[in-house]
C-alpha cells in the first residue's frame, strides 16, 4: 500500500532507517521535539543553523557519521 503514512524528508528517512525516535534525539541534542518533527516531515523545512549544529553534533556523538549537507545541503 503506497501513499500511506506521513511524508518524510531525507532527515526523517534517516531517523526511520536507524530507528532513532524524535524524542530520543530531542533529549540528546537539546532541540525541541516539535522542531525535529517539523524538519523530519518535509524537505521544504530546514532548521536554523544553531539547531542543525546541535542535531549533527548529537548524531555524531552517537556514532553516526553525518554532515549538514547529508540532510539539508
Give the pLDDT confidence of 5-45 residue by residue, as tens digits.
778 999 999 999 999 999 999 999 999 999 999 999 988 98
Helix residue ranges per DSSP H, the chain: 10-18, 22-29, 33-41, 49-61, 68-71
Higher pLDDT, 3 or 60: 60
- Residues, the chain: 73
On the CB side of 59, CA atoms within 13 Å amount to 23
pLDDT in tens, 35-73: 999 999 988 989 999 999 999 999 999 999 999 999 988
Compute the distance between CA of residue 1 and CA of residue 45 in angstroms, rounded to an integer: 26
Quote the pTM value. Answer: 0.88
* Domains of the chain with bracketed CATH: 10-71 (1.10.260)
- 32 grid coordinates: 525541541
Amino acid at each position: 500500500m503506497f501513499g500511506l503514512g506521513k511524508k518524510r524528508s531525507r532527515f526523517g528517512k534517516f531517523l526511520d532507517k536507524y530507528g532513532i525516535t524524535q524524542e530520543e534525539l530531542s533529549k540528546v541534542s537539546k532541540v525541541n521535539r516539535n522542531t525535529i518533527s517539523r524538519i523530519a516531515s518535509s524537505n521544504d523545512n530546514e532548521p536554523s543553523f544553531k539547531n542543525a549544529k546541535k542535531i549533527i553534533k548529537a548524531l555524531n556523538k552517537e556514532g553516526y557519521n553525518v554532515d549538514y549537507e547529508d540532510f539539508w545541503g
